[in-house]
């Protein structure tokens, strides 16, 4: 269940939606992304990462059009907010101090989720060390993990 701000979508969620594979169909059906009944947010860093992946994956015109249409369905959160910038610094430093090296894009996503009071929806484990239960910190980054082998019943 999402925090009051709704869901912040990790990049991998959108990749599966664009690919329209079994996992993408499961995610869409489970979270009603196409219907828009939940508030969904994207960190602008995710948008840039998706455009980069579209080039790296050699997506053709049809998949790029799907990506553009999909991106139009969500609210984009800028990272220039001073609270997000501060959260980025705290998350990066805390993660390194506890032996967790995060990708820079994931730190931006986590900082955005923390400040916007949203739950990161993801198919990977990159945010696990930030997610409760953890003691000794006054903050958390909520995340909801979708098993990558999930699919709709046949």
Asked if residue 115 belongs to a domain, the reply is yes
Residue 25 maps to a domain:
yes
Q: What is the pLDDT of residue 33?
A: 86
pLDDT of residue 12: 98
- How many domains does the structure of the chain reveal? 1
**Cα–Cα dist 152/141, whole Å:** 28
Is residue 16 within 8 A of residue 67, CB to CB? The reply is: no
Give a yes or no: residue 151 inside a domain: no
Q: What is the pLDDT of residue 136?
A: 65
Q: Buried (b) or exposed (e) across 54-92, using 16+ Cβ within 10 A?
A: beeeebeeeeeebbeebbeebeebebeeeebeebbeebb
- Give the pLDDT confidence of 85-117 residue by residue, as tens digits: 999 999 999 999 999 999 999 999 999 999 999
User: Does 92 reside within a domain?
Assistant: yes
**pLDDT, the chain, mean:** 93
Residue 2 within any structural domain of the chain: no
6 Cβ neighbours under 8 A, 6+ residues apart: 38, 39, 40, 41, 118, 119
pLDDT over 60 at 124, yes or no:
yes
How sure is the predictor about 127, in pLDDT bands with cuts at 50, 70 and 90? Answer: very high
Does residue 133 have a pLDDT over 80?
A: no
When pLDDT is cut at 50, 70 and 90, the band that residue 145 belongs to is: very high
DSSP letters spanning 102-122: --HHHHHHHHHHHHHT-EEEE
pLDDT tens track for 31-66: 988 776 667 999 999 999 999 999 999 999 999 999
Tell me what pLDDT residue 123 has.
98
- Assign residue 85 the CATH number of its domain: 3.40.50.1010
Sign of torsion over alpha carbons 111, 144, 137, 93: negative
Give the range of the structural domain holding residue 94, as residue numbers without chain letter.
7-145
Please report whether residue 69 resides in a domain. Answer: yes
């Amino acid at each position: 269940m999402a925090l009051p701000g709704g869901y912040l979508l990790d990049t991998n969620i959108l990749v599966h939606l664009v690919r329209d594979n079994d996992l993408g169909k499961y995610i869409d059906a489970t979270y009603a992304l196409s219907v828009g009944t939940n508030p969904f947010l994207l960190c602008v860093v995710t948008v840039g990462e998706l455009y980069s992946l579209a080039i790296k994956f050699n997506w053709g015109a049809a998949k790029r059009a799907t990506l553009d249409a999909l991106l139009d369905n969500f609210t984009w959160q800028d990272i220039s907010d001073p609270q997000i910038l501060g959260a980025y610094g705290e998350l990066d430093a805390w993660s390194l101090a506890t032996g967790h090296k995060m990708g820079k894009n994931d730190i931006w996503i986590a900082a955005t989720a923390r400040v916007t009071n949203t739950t990161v929806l993801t198919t990977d484990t990159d945010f696990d060390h930030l997610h409760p239960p953890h003691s000794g910190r006054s903050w958390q980054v909520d995340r909801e993990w979708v098993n990558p082998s999930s699919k709709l019943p046949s």
